[in-house]
Amino acid sequence: MTDEEFAAFYARAVRRLTGQLYVMTGDFHEAQDVVQEAFARAWARRHRIDQDLGPEAWVRTVAWRLAVSRWRRVVRGQRAWRRRGDPAAVGGPDAAAVDLGAALRRMPARQRQCAALFYVCDLTVEQIAAETGLSAGTVKTHLSRARAKLALYLDDHVPAVEERDV
């Protein structure tokens, strides 16, 4: 099939095939999508599609198979979602975690980054230096300052030893 023949075939068949797939799927937008995808696949094979064997039937079959595949994917997703069960009720965040998050947001970005890489990601000073492009000494300085600021910011929120023991 030449390019011109394919263009004429498309113009003749696209509305009819979309209508047919709409009836088959019950979803107009889905029908439009799968018909367009089927025509895109037909375009790639236009030189091999024989007009005598029914290119419209080929496009309709491909569109239907695409619709079925999409439907199966949705059904599998819904089943997986139902299988997961409802999560147990989760309480709010711990007050200490909220305080820590607020303290981290008050720090300069480089100090926060170095502290997170060191304490959360368990990277060494050398690994942090390589990842951030800073020298090892600069990383150590940022970590020291970050610890000092965290201690300052969190000092108001940590109960005294006597209060914890009571």
Rounded distance between C-alpha atoms, residue 121 and residue 139, angstroms: 15
Q: What is the pTM of this model?
A: 0.49
Rounded distance between C-alpha atoms, residue 20 and residue 25, angstroms: 9
Q: What is the pLDDT along the chain (166 residues), one digit of tens a residue?
A: 788 988 999 999 999 999 988 888 888 999 999 999 999 999 998 888 766 568 888 898 899 999 999 989 988 988 888 887 766 666 777 776 677 777 777 888 888 888 878 887 788 999 989 888 899 999 999 999 999 988 887 776 555 444 444 4
The full DSSP string for 19-82 is HHHHHHHS-HHHHHHHHHHHHHHHHHTTTT--GGG-HHHHHHHHHHHHHHHHHHHHHHHHHHHH
SS (H, E, C) 126-155: HHHHHHHCCCHHHHHHHHHHHHHHHHHHHH
Could you tell me if 135 and 129 are in contact, meaning their C-beta atoms sit under 8 angstroms apart? yes
User: What is the model's pLDDT at position 164?
Assistant: 41
